[in-house]
Amino acid sequence: MNDLHEMFEDAFTSLEAPFAFLDRTALDVNIDQILKRAGNKRIRVASKSVRSVPVLNHIFARSDQFQGIMSFAPEEALFLIEQGFDDILLGYPTVDEPAAQKLAETGKQVTFMVDHPAHGAMLERVGDRTGRIIRVCIDLDMSVKFPGVYFGVYRSPLKSGDAIRKLMNEIAPMRHLQVVGLMGYEAQIAGLGDRPDGTFDLKTAAIALLKKRSISIIRERRRKAVAALGEFTEVTLVNGGGTGSLESTRAEDDITEVTVGSGFYAPHLFDRYREFRHREAAGFALPVVRIPKKGMMTCMGGGYLASGSADALRLPKPWTPCNVQLVSEEGAGEVQTPVIIKGNSLGIGDNIYFRHAKAGELCERFNELHILDNFQYNGTKWKTYRGEGKCFL
């Protein structure tokens, strides 16, 4: 077997698989790399891609360039406030009025996302009932339509300065709202690998071209939208980006902060970018429980598929030993995951180590992350949201 496999097996002898782990040495390398990649911009941490309070605390303790959290749900934001976090930007609009009210009542700095007058009207009611001024951020859509290709995601309908003006004409008169800024998440740069299939082919070349064209369109769109919003209010927050776009997002003068989440754990979908490579920091171990025939082994558990388009990329990826691959007909199963092993085999009770396709979703499968330091495990475990008995979405 290879060295990495032996090092994991030696470190984790006291644990029974399945378990998830976080290599804190690699996490720290990733944190430092993210700080560099973000240049002089403040970094908001996308908690959906972390889903563990001790990990969030660890990230914030490393640098004060990390400021604020992008939360994915109001109940999560409430939980984070209870844990002592402040400056929370809800990355997505909510229609959960009771939770929005509870959040407003905390009196903490919470900023709600809107892209429709109905979002504004709901928050205005909350402001009216609580007597609080509600901070609001407008979500600018960053998708780009090329002939025959829609490059981006379907989220906000607002794509221009004029669309921002139109929305502001409706929500600016709402007495309890304070619009503080704009968010534009360029998913087609931040979340789309340069080599989605892991190969260099025509598709790769097309993606490179579309990404390049998108970046200049995005920059111009954001500049105009910030100017339009500035006609109504003082713009103090301009958020953009994600792990995959730090280089291009930070280059925009209007941007006051970038968002990062996935880059801390570096799941395998983030192996596919040209401009950076983070260290594999999070993984999980499955025990070999059966040997159906020579050259094959079957593990217990493993069907931790990532959300998104249901393709093979969403499957977990065998990490070590490196001579292991999934069986394409079966993929990763609910309770049984068979693998093909070429060359040296393992025995019953040995572990195979995998990586998830995405970052935070791994934490929805395990109660804790076992912490590895320089390939030593001393029993330290950090709770995930699930381990805290929390499930927000």
Quote the least distance from Cβ 296 to ligand PLP, whole Å: 35
Tell me the residue number closest to ligand PLP, measured at CB.
242
Quote the least distance from Cβ 91 to ligand PLP, whole Å: 4
Quote the least distance from Cβ 361 to ligand PLP, whole Å: 11
Quote the least distance from Cβ 195 to ligand PLP, whole Å: 17
**Bridge partners, 354 (sequence order):** 284, 318
Distances (CA, A) of 86 to 91, 102, 133, 242, 323: 15, 15, 16, 20, 46
| CB nearer ligand PLP, residue 107 or residue 308 | 308
| CB nearer ligand PLP, residue 219 or residue 278 | 278
CA distance 33 to 276: 9
- Count Cα neighbours of 99 within 13 Å in the Cβ-side half-sphere: 16
CA distance 83 to 71: 13
| CB nearer ligand PLP, residue 190 or residue 285 | 190
| CB nearer ligand PLP, residue 49 or residue 204 | 49
- Count Cα neighbours of 121 within 13 Å in the Cβ-side half-sphere: 4
Using CB under 6 A, list all residues that contact ligand PLP. Answer: 46, 49, 70, 91, 185, 190-191, 242-243, 259-263, 359
| CB nearer ligand PLP, residue 188 or residue 204 | 188
- Cβ neighbors of 345 (< 8 A, separation 6 or more) are 291, 294, 295, 297
Distances (CA, A) of 205 to 155, 196, 244, 276: 26, 11, 17, 18
Closest CA to 322 of 282, 353, 295, 287: 353
Quote the least distance from Cβ 184 to ligand PLP, whole Å: 9
Quote the least distance from Cβ 201 to ligand PLP, whole Å: 24
- Cβ neighbors of 209 (< 8 A, separation 6 or more) are none
CA distance 278 to 230: 37
| CB nearer ligand PLP, residue 93 or residue 191 | 191
| CB nearer ligand PLP, residue 130 or residue 259 | 259
Quote the least distance from Cβ 72 to ligand PLP, whole Å: 8
| CB nearer ligand PLP, residue 12 or residue 264 | 264
Tokens of 240: 């953009």
Pairing between β-strand 149-151 and β-strand 177-184 as defined by DSSP bridges: unpaired
Closest CA to 70 of 42, 104, 96: 42
CA dihedral 343, 349, 351, 352 (to 10 degrees): 50
